[in-house]
Structure 1
Amino acid sequence: MANWFQRTFLANRPAGSRLANLETSFNPKLSIRKLKNYHASATDICHYGFLGSIMFFSFVVNPAPWIFKILFYSLLLLLFVIPATGQFFFNALPIFAWLSLYFTSSSFDASYRPPITVKVLPAIETILYGDNLSDILATSTNKPLDIVAWLPYGIFHFGAPFVVAAILFICGPPTILRGYAFAFGYMNLFGVMTQNLFPAAPPWYKILNGLSPANYSMHGSPGGLGRIDEYFGINLYTKGFTNSAVIFGAFPSLHSGCATMEALFFSYVFPKLTPLFVFYVCWLWWSTMYLTHHYFVDLMAGSVLSYVIFQYTKYFHLPLTEKGVYSRWTYAEIPKFNIWQTDPLYGARSDVENVPLSVLETDFELNSMENSNNSNSNSPSIFDESSPRSVSRSSLTSTDNLEQDLPLRTSTAKPNKQRFD
């Protein structure tokens, strides 16, 4: 096994490269020393300030006993401080902020929460697509289709983030896992915030209750996943979705957002396999509507949210991939995308095209125009043999004429001026 790993991933490692090395120390003093020498930028202050406020809000509002909350946050702080664990857990801070807000959402006071919309999503679905696609797909069900729909929605969705993270860590450039945690966490965090601000009933609610008003005292439903519990004789999905922390969180679909984010990162590292990742997203889209958990407009909103956050992460956080490189240990450097240099109006001072042209020709032309407009002055002409500055084409090859003409050119040139042709 060790020889296979050596041949596959470490064979082309640059000599002396330490980019892919991991921190193995368990001494918290190293992290404290780095923190003292760290100078936060305005972007870092906004980033950590926002996530810290979410974590603090969840700490205060969550109904769990204070002793458990203190122990949990103390353990999390310890994992941040230890260098060997902090390199993974600290970069996953957006994910922890999302999870803390998600599991706290069920404890929000209903009197302060927005009313639950039941009719908006099916109305938008009909306006945009002409009919309710979820109702159409869920009309005809059978056991084989249930199994095919269950795989991406009930199995792959929960395990895919860890599999994607492991593959990106091994096969992607160094620091790409940090970017994945940033994008994945913020996408889910913004999604949960939207679900709390705009609570909407999923398709299964319309099937069970019609368009009657919903309230926060209602329980959730597993939808089509209830049939999976019946097939296997379990109560996993029925219990989980009935007591979900965000029952009326149809819009946007975080199932769609997670699948899209995973497909975007895999396509970024393995561009040749992009059709396979697109197929997976479409497969999950179909399964969510077939199992009556989301409308198609929910799926589109989740994918758009995921795409926007990925694009920001790509241009400001992700390292550039190298063609033909499939191991983090093969990279000799970590180049990043410079969004400003892609601007066609961007100009660097070192670029010769941005150096101002000499005003020598401009001054000469302006002076010539002024002299031509002055009736009392005679403008020199190259065709005027009496002009002291006239030089015939044949005389240009004469050394004497060149020597006579050089002082005149020197005297008319302005000091400290250069010409760039």
Structure 2
Amino acid sequence: MSGFIYRWFLADRPANSKVSELETSWDIRQSLAKLRNYQPTTKDVCHYGFLCSVLLFVFVAFPAPWLLKLFVYALFGLLFLIPITSQFFFNALPIFTWLALYFTSSYFSAGSRPPITVKVLPAIETILYGDNLSDILATSTNSFYDILAWIPYGLFHFGAPFVVAAILFVFGPPTILQGYAFAFGYMNLFGVITQNIFPAAPPWYKIMYGLNSAHYGMHGSPGGLARIDKLLHINIYTQGFSNSSVIFGAFPSLHSGCATMEALFFSYCFPRLRPLFIAYVCWLWWSTMYLTHHYFVDLMLGSVLSYTIFQYTRYTHLPVVDTDLFCRWSYGAIEKFNIAKNDPLSTEPSDVENVPLTTMNFATPTPPSELSDDDDVVASRSASPYIFDRTTSSATSNTSLDLQGEATPRAVKPRFD
């Protein structure tokens, strides 16, 4: 039975396809050799320079013994250099940077932080929508609504990123997980930076303290999730939100940003299910306001932030999805979106389809009569890139989770008109 499932699962896998393979080597010398030959582009300098500057700030600001911090950074450096772990850890650098900054935020001194705004968000809410939508939705509560709001906000939000990553890895095209980690990490990183620069009180603060001034010595509140703690006889949410690293981080809503990012990637890979993913985002929007954790304007900015980063990632990192293929092992080649080809103002010829990831070979074309069947397939490289691999830098960024087999173009037969 297992043999039948295995054959069915890989039934449409192209012969000798290596684009879906993962790196299995433990030899650090491979990474060091690629590091010596690495020639960063301007985009690479901006990307790694920004992340390294944030990590350096975290290294100095986090109140832990220097030897412990050096050990942690050295451990991650080792994981980045080992090929089998590098393809996951090194490419999750935006995510690790976001987490490091988030957990360091609670240690910032109050004297060096901006004042907390209490009145701006409810005022914007009233100006844009005519009333405070969170107050309206939270006016009438009951156990059924509490459970319905708790499912996306208190459960799915924390587990969905891992579930989405696993599904994208199996059923999406190779390298899709790279783009997901890049976009997800940067969205949360920019969100936490914004929350520290513009600290804003959520709706629960107005319910508890009115429009009185807030200060950094205050504890957070679980809002409507306190009713879940009481209902389930637990103290998880009260304890967690009371001691959150970013208590006054209402703007933007990263709950909304995460849900939107997950919906965008799922819609990209499984477009027929797009209404289901949109419904999930709307469900989470309602739950955040019902539980008094965010204003509607917070949700909108979180979604706009996700959409902006997703669109950049789509045109610079993501492979083209073939909805006729079943899973990652069905792909024999990886294609990327060709911005120049789809630019209506571009002067490039439009009769060349599926521009490959690597540089095209513009040698003298062979007449059609001399082409054999084997000329239609371009073999994939056997080695998988994992760190500082310049052979794919023009189309695939080494900035995310899933650095598996190098993208391989489909052969393009020249046309003779």
Give 1:51 deviation, angstroms.
0.5
Q: Which amino acid aligns with 1:328?
A: R
Measured in 1, the distance between the counterparts of 2:133 and 2:272 equals 31
Q: Does 1:235 align with 2:240?
A: no
Structure 2 partner of 1:287: 287
Q: Which amino acid aligns with 2:179?
A: G
The within-5 A match list for 1:237-316 is 237-316=237-316
CA displacement, residues 340-368 of structure 1 (integer Å, 9 cap, x when unaligned): 2211121127989xxxxxxxxxxxxxxxx
The within-5 A match list for 1:45-194 is 45-194=45-194
Structure 2 partner of 1:17: 17
Helix, strand or coil for the counterpart of 2:342?
coil
Q: Does 1:33 align with 2:68?
A: no
Structure 2 partner of 1:340: 340
Q: Which amino acid aligns with 1:148?
A: L
Measured in 1, the distance between the counterparts of 2:167 and 2:5 equals 14
Structure 2 partner of 1:405: none
Structure 2 partner of 1:384: none
Measured in 2, the distance between the counterparts of 1:351 and 1:276 equals 37
Measured in 2, the distance between the counterparts of 1:342 and 1:176 equals 21
Q: Which amino acid aligns with 2:12?
A: N
CA displacement, residues 167-192 of structure 1 (integer Å, 9 cap, x when unaligned): 00011111110000000000000000
In structure 2, do the counterparts of structure 1 residues 4 and 59 end up closer, same or farther at CA, with 3 Å as the change threshold? Answer: farther
Measured in 1, the distance between the counterparts of 2:238 and 2:31 equals 44
Measured in 2, the distance between the counterparts of 1:72 and 1:8 equals 44
CA displacement, residues 187-224 of structure 1 (integer Å, 9 cap, x when unaligned): 00000000001000000000000000001111100001
Measured in 2, the distance between the counterparts of 1:223 and 1:166 equals 31
CA contact (8 A) 2:340 2:348 kept: no
The structure with higher relative contact order (CA 8 Å, sep 6+) is 2
The answer for unaligned runs of 5 or more in structure 2 is 353-417
Measured in 2, the distance between the counterparts of 1:220 and 1:122 equals 18
Measured in 2, the distance between the counterparts of 1:4 and 1:293 equals 49
Q: Which moved more, 1:261-270 or 1:27-36?
A: 27-36
Q: Which moved more, 1:317-326 or 1:158-167?
A: 317-326
Give 1:338 deviation, angstroms.
1.3
Q: Which moved more, 1:83-92 or 1:33-42?
A: 33-42
CA displacement, residues 98-135 of structure 1 (integer Å, 9 cap, x when unaligned): 00110111111111111100000000101111110000
The answer for unaligned runs of 5 or more in structure 1 is 353-421
Measured in 2, the distance between the counterparts of 1:28 and 1:351 equals 43
Give 1:8 deviation, angstroms.
4.2
Give 1:315 deviation, angstroms.
0.5
Give 1:292 deviation, angstroms.
0.3
Give 1:69 deviation, angstroms.
1.6
Q: Which moved more, 1:323-332 or 1:43-52?
A: 323-332
Q: Which amino acid aligns with 1:323?
A: T
* Equivalent residues, number: 352
Q: State the identity %.
A: 70
In structure 2, do the counterparts of structure 1 residues 318 and 233 end up closer, same or farther at CA, with 3 Å as the change threshold? Answer: same
Measured in 1, the distance between the counterparts of 2:151 and 2:185 equals 23
Q: Which amino acid aligns with 2:177?
A: L
Structure 2 partner of 1:223: 223
CA contact (8 A) 2:80 2:90 kept: yes
Q: Quote the RMSD (CA, aligned, Å).
A: 1.4
Give 1:29 deviation, angstroms.
1.2
In structure 2, do the counterparts of structure 1 residues 215 and 11 end up closer, same or farther at CA, with 3 Å as the change threshold? Answer: same
Q: Which amino acid aligns with 1:111?
A: G
